[in-house]
Structures are given as C-alpha cells and as structure tokens.
Amino acid sequence: MPPLSKTLRFREPSVIPGFGLTFGLTVTWLSVIVLIPLAAMILYASRLGFDQFIAILTAQRTLNALKLSFGIAFAAAIFNVIFGLIVAWALTRYEFPGRRIADAIVDIPFALPTAVAGIALATLYSPQGWIGQFLAPLGIQVTFTPLGILVALIFVGIPFVVRTVQPVLKDLDPELELAAASLGASRWQVIRKVIAPTLLPAILTGFALAFARAVGEYGSVIFIAGNLPNISEIAPLLIVIRLEEFRYADATAIAVIMLFVAFIMLLIINRLQRWTEARS
C-alpha cells in the first residue's frame, strides 16, 4: 500500500465486509430524509434577510409565543424533576403494593399518542370535567390558560426524569450509604453528600430531555390551551397558524429558532449523558 493512501485513510481497515455499502446507504438515507429537508428550511430562512428575520422574531405575538413555550417548558421540567425524583426513589427503594404496575405506567406518556392525551386532559380539566369541577370553585381555571399548558407539558415529560434517574439509583452501591452511615452521617447527610452528587448528572439529563421535549410539544397542548394569541399560544402552534395563513417566511423563522434550540439541547444532552456514564 503506498504511504499516501495510508495517511488519507478514512477508517480503520476492518475484516468485516460491507463498510462502503452500509455507510453509503446510511449517509444517503439520512441526507434524504433528515439533512436535506432541514438544510432546505435553513436555506429558506436565509433568503429572508437578517432584518426581516429579526422583525418576525421580535413581533409581539412571536415573542409572547416563544416566551410562553420556553417558560412553561422550563417550569414543567422543574416540576418533573421534583416529582420524577420521588417516583424514581419510591420505585427503586421501597416495596409497596402495585409497584410493578406503577413502574410500567411511567412509560404511558411515551406510548400514548399526543392527541389522545390532549383531548383527555382538556376534558378532565374543563370547568365541567372530573378534575376541573373541583378547581373552578377555587377560582382556578386550567383550560385555555398557561396553567393548562403546564399540565400537558408535565404529562409528556414524566418518563424522562424517572427513566434517567432510576438506573443510577439502582446501581448505587448500598455499601456506600452504609459506610457513610457507619461513619456517623445522619440519613439526611447521606442523601445530601453521598446520593445527591451521584444522581446530579442523571437529574440534569432528565431535566434537559424533558425540557427539550416540552418546548416542541404540540399535540397534547393545543386542545387544553385554547390558543388565545399572546396568552396561551405556544410557538409550535404559531408556526402552524402562519402556515395556514400561507406566511411561510414567518413560520420558517420561528421554526429555525426552534431547530437551533433543539440542536443545542441535543449537544447538551449528549454531554450530560457522557457525564452520567462516567459517573456510574
């Protein structure tokens, strides 16, 4: 083999045949289905020009929608961290009646189509609904308000924190806790100084996953949100509305921002996951 081709070699030679074929097909298919369409969208947005792009994004309605989407997604993710931790803790640490079923149920938001969740939540929380009827006398209105969006986003985010924290909690060496306790640490100190630092990467990963999912969520939100402009209109919905008005430029500008955030979140999540693996 001439030395030139050695230095330019793309991959380690392998005895397993088929690299060219499978790599080629993978990259081609990825490009056709994912990369080219996304590139087309970015190209479309770049034709808008900077001023128009900024004008669309700083329009009051767009700003409100983006603020609402990110703000409530953030709140929902916080909520999911707190309750997700409790659920994960109870499922891995205690034995109680119905534990197996509770464990299985956690995955429902992954598997249940968003439209189904959306109409169910909207019906439950309407002022006449099973849950809404108890809240209405207290002056709490859920449907058609940001609170409704929060409920929907909590629902879609439940599995993320539970499922990232659970394996770490399971692998946590009980002897570590025993050792700490035998050294005189109180239970609370053990939790704070031994357990919490180990769980932190997993918690952050779960938070990031739940947040990323919630920011882009559409189906489960639109039914309960009522979609009042500037009040309960999320960014993905605004994209749909702009599309229906044939204002492609507006839709694309918002979409590009959301794609950008999604990509950043993906990079952060990858980092966090590597951190989690390094810790455990």
Partner 1 sequence: MTFIEATTNRQAGFGGAEENSGPARRSDFAARAPRGAKANTETLPVRILLVLIALGFLTLFIVIPLVAVFLQAFSKGWTAYFSALTDPDAISAIRLTIIVAACSVAVNLFFGLIAAWTITKYRFPGKTLLITLIDLPFSISPVVSGLVFVLLFGLQGFFGHWLQDNDIKILFAFPAILLATIFVTFPFVARELIPLMQEQGTTEEEAALSLGASGLTTFLKVTLPNIKWGLLYGILLCNARAMGEFGAVSVVSGHIRGETNTMPLHIEILYNEYQLTAAFAVASLLALLAIVTLVLKAALERKLERKR
Partner 2 sequence: MKIDVRNLSKRFGNFVALKNVDLDIASGELLALLGPSGSGKTTLLRIIAGLDFADGGEVYFAGENAANLNVRKRHVGFVFQHYALFRHMTVFENVAFGLRVRPRRERKPEHEIVKRVKRLLEFVHIEGLAERYPDQLSGGQRQRVALARALAIEPNVLLLDEPFGALDAKVRKSLRRWLRDLHGELNVTSVLVTHDQEEALEVADRIVVMGNGKIEQVGTPEEIYNEPANSFVFDFIGESVKLPVRIENGGIWIGSRRLATNDELPGTGPARLFVRPHDLTFGEVSEAPLQGAVRAVRRVGALSFADVRLDYGGDDLLVEASLPPETLVRPGDLVGLTPRRYRIYEDGAAESLTSAAL
Site for partner 1 in 197-256 (CB under 8 A): 212-213, 215-219, 223, 235-237, 239-240, 243, 246, 248, 251-252, 255
CB 252 within 8 A of CB 238: no
d(C-alpha 199, C-alpha 237), whole Å: 35
Q: Binders of partner 2: how many residues, by CB under 8 A? A: 4
Q: Binders of partner 1: how many residues, by CB under 8 A? A: 100
CB 203 within 8 A of CB 86: no
Q: Compare residues 63 and 116 and give the one whose CB is closer to partner 1.
A: 116
Q: Which of 6, 95, 139, 278 binds partner 2 (CB under 8 A)?
A: 6
Residues 10-29 that bind partner 2 (CB under 8 A): 13, 15
Residues 104-163 that bind partner 1 (CB under 8 A): 104-124, 130-131, 151, 154-155, 158
Stretch that binds partner 1, among 50-58, 137-145, 169-177, 197-205 (CB under 8 A): 169-177
Q: Establish if 260 lies at the interface with partner 1 (CB under 8 A).
A: no
Give Cβ neighbours of residue 241 (< 8 Å, ≥ 6 apart). 233
Residue 126 is classified by DSSP as S
Q: Establish if 2 lies at the interface with partner 1 (CB under 8 A).
A: no
Write b or e for each residue in 118-131: b if 16 or more Cβ atoms lie within 10 A of its Cβ, otherwise e.
bebbbbbbbeebee
Distances (CA, A) of 120 to 143, 152, 164, 208, 257: 12, 10, 27, 26, 30
Interacting residue ranges for partner 2, rule: CB under 8 A: 1, 6, 13, 15
